[in-house]
A and B are shown apart, each in its own frame.
Chain A
Amino acid sequence: MHIMEGFLPVTHAIGWSLASAPFVGYGLYVIKKRIREKPEQRMLLGVAAAFTFVLSALKMPSVTGSCSHPTGTGLGAVLFSPGAMAPIGAVVLLFQALLLAHGGLTTLGANIFSMAVVGPFAATLVYRLARGIKLPFSFAVFLAASLADLLTYVTTAGQLAFAFPDPVGGFAVSFAKFCGVFAVTQIPLAISEGLLTVVVFNALTRYNARELQDMNVLTGQEVRA
């Protein structure tokens, strides 16, 4: 769910851009360091951005019967680390604005914050916590992908409620309104994306376990199992 061009007031647009900038800057620092150590990663990150863009254009069957588009933030964060996902997400969101008219240029900062910062970091945190308490790999992936999706949408609802508080009930009522309106599509989408990410990782574990081990997603013991 992208906030469209011109929707946010100018102060909020600037504020969210400033909030996202350190994460994108840190992400660029992480990427530069990775490229110095492993020069082949330079191409990998660019290709990963194209992969995320194409993934976001796929029509996904939702559990309510309608079709939605996966965000790919959970999958990307588990595969490429949340730090690297901020610049990759920024490029993908810019391309979506310029090639698909989804999102916008003045709302790029707000969209980066919800989709390329909160989503990937939430996915990584949930995945590590789930693996820390020894939950099965598939369940950990499901939780990471679906909660990342859900938190992305809650953040967007929060951004909109912050910009447009209800005249009577203030931020809380406005937040409840936006959450309620977008929940109809976003909760089934989050569940579908969680299931899809599990199917993806099952296929990867079966046929491409070596690559997952190289990316530190799976341990050698899990690969042998």
Chain B
Amino acid sequence: MLIEQCAYANRLRLVTPAAKGIFCLCGVIASFSAGTPAAACGVAAALASVTVLGAGIPMGRYLRVAAPALLFLGTSALTLAVSLTPESLNNGFSIRIERTSVQAAAQVVGRSLGGLAALLFLAMTTPLTDIIGLLRRLRTPETLLDIMVLCYRTLFVFSEAVRETTTAQSARLGYATTRHALRSMGILTANLTVQVWQRSQALHVAAMSRNGDGPLRFLEHDHHHSARDCFVFLAGGSLIIFLSQVLS
């Protein structure tokens, strides 16, 4: 996972997650409050610059991570810009591109780019374990946090199992045709489903043998200068909100 690799190897890794959360929130507020598409695009550019230049995320990786969301944005924006007008009962619809529809689509594109840049800033600079720690401090229900912790700890085990099984199946021409691919994938998924029971049972036995029937807690990083970081990122975020208002 590209985002996970970036989150552990960037210049802002040791900054407290609260500060990065505040900055992301300011980015989202700036994107939503931007009055014009140009202002929202300016916010997106500022946030992307902080991520790429400030945190040292390679531009190629940044664009590869953003690509699927941009594909969704392109399709949906086109749908918004094109207007269907009913002609008559027999003639169906005529396709038109209205000025107002294009303006509305441009506004949505600008806002979405800003929001995406804010999300990518948080995701590509903060490991998920830090975000779970932040959610714990924000009083998220323990049951939900337990699911998150277990999900995060197990998903790499499953990913490895999928990789190894797919390699073995491919070596036996398991994905040679669509029919074979569907069958191979069905067997792979069934095998993973059984592993859900087996692995959860093993984890339960391991936890019970250590009297582990309470919330699952792990040691977190000590973030020095938390107050200073929060102040700096709040100031930076406020500047971006100010920029969005000035450009509007």
Contact = CB atoms under 8 A, between A and B. Distances in A.
Interface of A: 1-7, 10, 28, 31-32, 35, 39-40, 42-51, 53-55, 57-58, 60-61, 63, 65, 75, 79, 87-88, 90-92, 94-95, 97-102, 104-106, 160, 164, 166-169, 173, 176-178, 181, 192, 195-196, 198-204, 207-208, 211
B90 interface: no
A2 B131 CA distance: 21
Contacts of A181: 75-76, 78-79
Interface string B169-190: 0000001001001110111111
A43 B183 contact: no
Interface string B147-165: 1111111110111001000
Interface residues of B, number: 85
Interface string B19-32: 00000100010011
A167 B83 contact: yes
A108 B119 CA distance: 12
B155 A54 contact: yes
- Secondary structure at chain B's binding surface: helix, strand, loop or mixed? helix
Contact of B84 (A43, A53, A166): A166
A44 B199 CA distance: 8
B60 interface: no
A2 B68 CA distance: 10
A178 B79 contact: yes
A40 B190 contact: no
B119 A97 contact: yes
A61 B32 contact: no
A94 B141 CA distance: 15
Contact of A164 (B104, B122, B189): B104
Contacts of B182: 61, 192, 195-196, 199
A27 to B, nearest CB: 9
A51 B72 contact: no
Contacts of B114: 6
Given A164-B108, A168-B86, 17 more contacts: A43-B201, A46-B153, A47-B151, A51-B192, A51-B195, A54-B159, A55-B189, A58-B189, A61-B182, A75-B193, A87-B147, A99-B3, A101-B120, A105-B119, A168-B84, A169-B85, A199-B190
A70 to B, nearest CB: 8
Contact of A166 (B83, B157, B162): B83
A127 to B, nearest CB: 16
11 contacts: A4-B69, A40-B204, A50-B155, A53-B151, A58-B189, A61-B182, A65-B178, A87-B143, A95-B151, A167-B83, A207-B194
Contacts of B118: 5-6
Contacts of B149: 46
Contact of A4 (B78, B112, B147, B152): B112
Query: What are the 10 A-B residue pairs with the smallest beta carbon separation, nearest first?
Result: A6-B115, A46-B150, A199-B186, A203-B190, A50-B154, A49-B151, A5-B115, A43-B200, A50-B155, A44-B200
Contacts of A102: 68-69
A94 B147 CA distance: 12
B123 to A, nearest CB: 5
A48 B104 CA distance: 41
A61 B190 CA distance: 17
B151 A99 contact: no
B233 to A, nearest CB: 17
A28 B143 contact: yes
Nearest to A80: B196
Contact of B200 (A10, A28, A47, A55): A47
B65 A49 contact: no
B1 interface: yes
A58 B213 contact: no
Given A43-B207, A177-B79, A5 B151 contact: no
Nearest to A92: B151
Contact of A61 (B120, B122, B153, B185): B185
B189 A196 contact: yes
A1 B68 CA distance: 11
A2 B193 contact: no
A207 B190 contact: yes
A146 to B, nearest CB: 14
Contact of B147 (A1, A45, A61, A99): A45
Nearest to A6: B115
